[in-house]
A and B are shown apart, each in its own frame.
Chain A
Amino acid sequence: MKKVTVQDQGLVEKTKCHAAAIGVAMKESVYPLTATVQYPRQRKKMPDNFRGYILFDPDKCINCWECAFICPANAIRMKEAPNKKYYPTIDYGKCIFCHFCIDSCTDSALRTTKIHDVAYKDMDEMVTLTEEMIEPPEIVREDTKLVEYQIDDKDLQITKTREVDNLFVDEVPPSVEIPVVSQCIDGASCIGCHVCEYVCGSGAISSSIANGVMNMAIDTDNCTGCGLCVKECTMQILKLVRK
């Protein structure tokens, strides 16, 4: 068996360490530094892409249903609005805050916020209707301090500033996706039903008839690459390709 002995650091070093420990103890008794955030009087600073309460902008929605299709928790139901379009509603009783819906939303009609503390009285209330998603929900704010954690190479630094955080992400950072546009890969198989033209929200697809021939065209400058026409084409002859 091998005996492990403590390394002798020498008297000077030992005294130094003890003095430092006493110093920290004295500082803590005067100005204690806790890692716990004193919510709700203090709030932790969240990153801009925090997955919180979801906001919706009907003007940007192109009615593609992509959010409802992708939601793994089946939390999104599309409901008909007075203008005959279908808009999402979210059941927060089911939502797992994965934000797939936001990621899938082609025109940023769905947006995240840093709000994570909405309270409901019962399950029914958690079904959030479209109109309740347009404006941020009412929350009680008692916070006066903003807590920020920073981890440097040695230690966890906690800074607390007298500041109230903005919980809305006003500017959605521009997407860094590869720009794509819709193109036809088999024009001869087109039946000329115009469904692509009807569904295109940006008017990029046009058609005209002359001398018994219908001419279809996609304006690649106007096409946003949302893929709605690709999904709706009954003959599956449209594809998204790199711009």
Chain B
Amino acid sequence: MHDADIKACEEVIKMATEAAESKWEIKVPDKPLKDKLYFENLKSVVIDTEICSRCLTCAAVCPGGIIVVGDKVDFPDYETKCLDCGACVRVCPRFVYEPLSGMGSSTAFIAGRSKRFAGQDGAMVTELIVSAMEMGIIDRGLFAGRNENWETEMFHVRDPEQLAITTLSGTKYTFADVLPELKKAVKFTKNGVGVVGTPCIVSGVRKLQQEYPIFREKVKLVVGLFCTENFHYSAISQYLRDKGVDFSKLVKTDITMGKFIATMTDSEVKFKVKALEEILPSGCNVCCDFTAVEADVSVGSVGSVPGYSTISVREAIAVKILDYIKEQGYAEFGEGDPGQLGFLVGHKKKRAENLKK
């Protein structure tokens, strides 16, 4: 080894030793049900009352990874396996639920269309993540991809070339296990992680960041998606099959102008979204956040012309990335119309009433 290398090693060791401590403190979260396990508290306050959004923040942080996730959040043998650490109640955005709504601290409202990628609308979500990766702000982005049955699968995108898998972009109207994957990403990342999610997932990320510095340090970019509702895979897939959708030919699902449109290679199935109310998850039914108000930047389809994504810019980091995209000429930009969001924002705000029930 060269002298310089040895010096560098010594420096690293010194730094690690300086930051290290052999004593530390943890605040123990409050328990509404005093003599019950924390998971029982979470169960009675959030899961049994059916306000759980299935954001999986709890599953992400549970040390044993023993909170299992199917359609519903569950922990079958919690009596014996729960370590009673209280991490789940600390991070659950709905344990103490103060519904957010409105537009958030939006500083700019624009429309955009990526020239490099294809996506649901203008593929600006993909563009934002990839550009952030090129700028060196993050070294990986989490994408919700899907298999041929349209079940969601998480992917760590570390190179723009991976987006040759066309199923990574585009909207899947089923829940994705974003946050448990974010925990893994935080473990492996060197520079930082970029994450995309519906408003409930964004709230989960913020809660993790609020409670644990490691997430504050490692999660550098949070892209929110506009969202009225999402669906359980078993329910929506059954519904679509009954409507005659052939999953092997399905290429795109979309909700526009109050209609659900499933585009297949040879045909199209269309029906009113209102019909989906019977399979609306109970957690979405009490969610008032349409624009993911806590995200650094939110993207959706309403508010711009077809083929463009609507971008609601909030944090400086998003401004920086959009400036870079403009500079490189990666995307075309236009005007966004926040007025068009009024109806959906109002529609979701009304769901606060369901919470009282």
Contacts and interface: CB of A to CB of B under 8 A. Distances in A.
B87 A213 contact: no
Contact of A215 (B21, B23, B63): B23
Interface residues of B, number: 26
Contact of B28 (A184, A209, A236): A209
A236 B63 contact: no
A217 B23 contact: yes
B187 A236 contact: yes
B28 A213 contact: yes
B28 A192 contact: yes
A191 B214 contact: no
Contacts of A82: none
A191 B26 contact: yes
* Most chain B Cβ neighbours within 10 Å, of A189, A212, A215, A220: A189
B6 interface: no
B112 interface: no
Given A193-B85, A220-B22, A241-B17, A188 B187 contact: no
B187 A214 contact: no
A132 to B, nearest CB: 34
Contacts of B24: 184, 187-188, 190, 215-217
Contacts of A183: 17, 20-22
Contact of A191 (B16, B19, B212, B213): B212
B25 A187 contact: yes
Contacts of B21: 183-185, 187
Interface string A194-215: 1100000000000001001111
A186 interface: yes
Contacts of A193: 63-64, 83, 85, 87
Contacts of A190: 24, 26
A144 interface: no
Nearest to B14: A242
A191 B87 contact: yes
24 contacts: A183-B17, A183-B20, A183-B21, A183-B22, A187-B25, A187-B26, A188-B24, A188-B213, A191-B61, A191-B63, A191-B87, A192-B86, A193-B83, A194-B83, A195-B64, A195-B83, A213-B27, A214-B26, A216-B23, A218-B23, A220-B22, A235-B214, A236-B214, A241-B13
